[in-house]
Amino acid sequence: MSSKKTRILIAKPGLDGHDRGAKFIARALRDEGYEVIYTGIRQTPEAIVQTAIQEDVDFVGLSLLSGAHNELFPRVVDLLKENGAEDIKVIGGGIIPEEDIPLLKEKGVLAVFGPGTSTEQIVEFIEHGSGR
């Protein structure tokens, strides 16, 4: 009998301190049965990646509203790869213009959830859309 749970790291890279969305999604995902590790604001990409590896998460969810996503999201993806953890899936959320999404995906971010996304959509992706 397996007791396997999906583990998700919700992280806020960079200097942005607006955590309402991140805290909401952490709680909502917990209510959906996932194990969520939340590490607070002002996390460097290095800290996020080490945390993801130690916690052996399935997903890293990056929340960012300050416009620094084009720099910081790919950085996380790259660091995961450098540390032999490219199987950990990276998704992003926050204020991310649609026109930036194709580039982020090219750089290895699997999905981006902008404003107006519902919990249901994220769960749908985790369960069915992420190619697990």
Partner 1 sequence: MDLVDNIRRGDVRAIARAISLIEDLEPEAELLADSLFPDTGRAVILGVTGSPGAGKSTLVDRLITLERQSGHKVAVIAIDPSSPFSGGAILGDRLRMQEHATDPGVFIRSMASRGFLGGVAAATGDVLKVLDAAGYDTIFIETIGVGQTEVKIVELSDIVLLVLMPGAGDEIQAMKAGVMEIGDIFIINKKDMPGADKLRMEVEYVLSFKNPGHNTVTNPIVMTSAANDEGIELLWEAIARHRQEIAGSGTLEQKRRYRLERELLGVLDRKIHQLMDVRIEVSKQLPDWVDTLYRRKVCPYALINEQIQNFLKEGRDDRTN
Partner 2 sequence: MPLPEELKKKKKDWEETTLREVISRYPERKTEFVTGSDKTVDPLYLPESFSAQEYLEKQGFPGCYPFTRGVQPTMYRGRLWTMRQYAGFGAAEESNQRYRFLLEQGQTGLSVAFDLPTQIGYDSDDPRAEGEVGKVGVAIDTLRDMEILFDGIPLDRISTSMTINAPAAILLAMYIVVAETKGIRKDKLRGTIQNDILKEYIARGTYIFPPAPSMRLITDVFAYCTREVPQWNTISISGYHIREAGSDASQEVAFTLANGIEYVRAAVKAGLTVDDFAGRLSFFFNAHNDLLEEVAKFRAARRIWARIMKERFNATDPKSLMLRFHTQTGGSTLTAQQPDNNIVRVAIQALAAVLGGTQSLHTNSREEALALPAEESVRLALRTQQVLAYESGITSTVDPLAGSYYIEALTDRIELEVWQYIDRIEALGGMVPSILKGYVQKQIQEAAFRTQKDIEKGERVVVGINKFQMEEKRPENLLRVDPAIRQVQTDKLSQVKRSRNSSRVQHSLSALRQGAKQDDVNLLPLILEAVREYATLGEICRVLRDEFGEHKETIVL
Residues within the interface to partner 1 (CB under 8 A): 1-5, 7, 26-27, 29-40, 43-44, 46-47, 50-51, 53-56, 83-85
Q: Does 59 bind partner 2 (CB under 8 A)?
A: no
103 binds, among partner 2, partner 1, none (CB under 5 to 8 A by kind): none
Q: Does 7 bind partner 2 (CB under 8 A)?
A: no
Looking at residue 7, its amino acid is R
- Could you tell me whether strands 7-11 and 89-94 are parallel, antiparallel, or unpaired per DSSP bridges? unpaired
Alpha-carbon distance values, 60 to 2, 37, 82 (Å) = 23, 9, 16
99 binds, among partner 2, partner 1, none (CB under 5 to 8 A by kind): partner 2
Helix (H, G, I), strand (E, B) or coil at 34: coil
Quick note: the x/- pattern for partner 2 over 76-115, rule CB under 8 A, is -------------------x-xxx--------------xx
Looking at the DSSP bridge assignments, the partners of residue 129 are none
Q: Does 37 bind partner 2 (CB under 8 A)?
A: no
54 binds, among partner 2, partner 1, none (CB under 5 to 8 A by kind): partner 1
SS (H, E, C) 74-115: HHHHHHHHHCCCCCCEEEEEECCCHHHHHHHHHCCCCEEECC
Sign for the CA dihedral angle at 116, 120, 125, 126 comes to positive
Please identify, using beta-carbon distances, which residue of 47 and 103 lies nearer to partner 1: 47
Helix (H, G, I), strand (E, B) or coil at 116: coil
Binding site for partner 2 (CB under 8 A): 14-20, 23-24, 26-28, 38, 40-42, 44, 66-72, 75, 95, 97-99, 114-116, 118-120
